[in-house]
Amino acid sequence: MTPLPYGHHWLDEVDVAAVLQALRSDWITQGPLIQRFEEEVARRCGALHAVAFSSGTAALHAACFAAGIGAGDEVITTPLTFVATSNAVLYTGGRPVFADIDPESLNLCPERALACVTPRTKAILPVHFGGLPCRLEPLHKIARERGLLLIEDGSHAFGAEWTDRRGVRRKVGSCSHSDMTTFSFHPVKHITTGEGGMVLTNRPELRDRLRRFRHHGIDSGGGAMQELGFNYRITDFQCALGLSQMERADAFLRRREELAGAYARRLEGLGLRWQSVGQGVRHSWHLRVVQLPLEELSVGRDDLLRQMREQGIGVQVHYLPVHLQPYYRRLMGTRPGDHPFAENYYSRALTLPLFPRMGEEDLERVVRVLRELLSGVGRKEPVWNSNR
């Protein structure tokens, strides 16, 4: 039985031809395709500027650097994310401060973020978890009133959209309510460059700092090193792949939407809890996460995870909350109970396979296996409250 991964890239012969053409050109590193890719992503998202990087993590690091985050600065972020989000704060000498999630959207809760603001706070760094746009307007209000920067981690959310209070449709990446947005082009994301990332902004001074940072801190105009930077450059042949993938970005997104909807319909009646998507929002469905009704089941999440994997279904768990990671517990003294909503989600979460190349047979296989397992594990006896 062929294992079914939770995510997978989709390359075709057009993609391969585009990369080969770039490899046969005069430029394979710092050539013209990088700027073309940046311009295309910026145009699609509605931002003025885009700066490409060697990975999504490099993009996050660069955004924190461009924001001026340094020793003694605090950055409020969510515990429910991949460690790269908060690691980027540490790279620049700052301190991540975790605020708990909203249990319905699974995104950073603005009210809890506000409660974490101190005189040392420099920025807020929300994550559009799974591809669902977070509540940017209240976060933007907090940032502007407190003189903070707002940096969106959009690694899950390429193609996602939301509607502001005036009814204007906004794309994640437009930076209409933030200073910068980062993207990742890892193979399991919406489009891929192999590895790669990008920062979008509408502020030219941030664009210039980002460009210097990815090139050793060297100013491209005079060739002099202005500040300490890194070699975070992406290649031309990677951007050739990115440009080719952009041609199918809308088709990829539609297929993800189809699969996400099919899961909800075909797994109805099992007591599963799905991420809540509000009105006026377009979820980009990087992840299709579900929460199991553990209070009703006689087995735990890890048992179901193991059984599904034994049947070739590559379910995952996104993510162990960052404050429970061993490194962060040692570094910051965080512990279980610090962020109960994120921890409760994690205890019952499964990520189901979802990627554009999934066929109908793949979808039915996941649905059948999960239905069979949930139907066969047995249900706990209800606990009756005699005072009711």
Return averaged pLDDT per consecutive 10 residues of the chain, 388 residues in all. Answer: 91 98 94 97 98 98 98 98 98 98 98 98 98 98 98 98 97 98 98 98 98 94 89 98 98 98 97 95 98 92 96 97 98 98 98 98 97 75 38
Q: Please state the φ and ψ torsions of residue 308, each to the nearest 5 degrees.
A: -70, -40
Its CATH architecture, for the domain 249-376, is: Alpha-Beta Complex (3.90)
Q: How do the domains of the chain map onto residue ranges? A: 13-246, 249-376
Q: What integer pLDDT is reported at residue 387 of this predicted model? A: 37
Distances (CA, A) of 269 to 245, 262, 265, 275: 37, 14, 9, 16
Q: What integer pLDDT is reported at residue 171 of this predicted model? A: 98
Q: What integer pLDDT is reported at residue 348 of this predicted model? A: 97
Q: What integer pLDDT is reported at residue 3 of this predicted model? A: 87
Neighbour tally for 204: CB within 10 Å = 10
Is the CB of residue 16 less than 8 Å from the CB of residue 195? Answer: no
Please tell me which residue in 122, 141, 189, 380 is annotated as part of the active site.
189
Q: Please list the alpha-helical segments (H only) found in 189-310.
A: 204-213, 236-246, 249-266, 301-310
Q: What integer pLDDT is reported at residue 94 of this predicted model? A: 98
Task: Supply the angle between the helices 56-66 and 84-91 in degrees, to the nearest 10.
Answer: 40
CATH entry, 13-246, from 3.40.1000.10, 3.40.640.10, 1.10.8.640, 3.30.930.10: 3.40.640.10
Residue 171 is among the residues annotated as catalytic for this protein: no
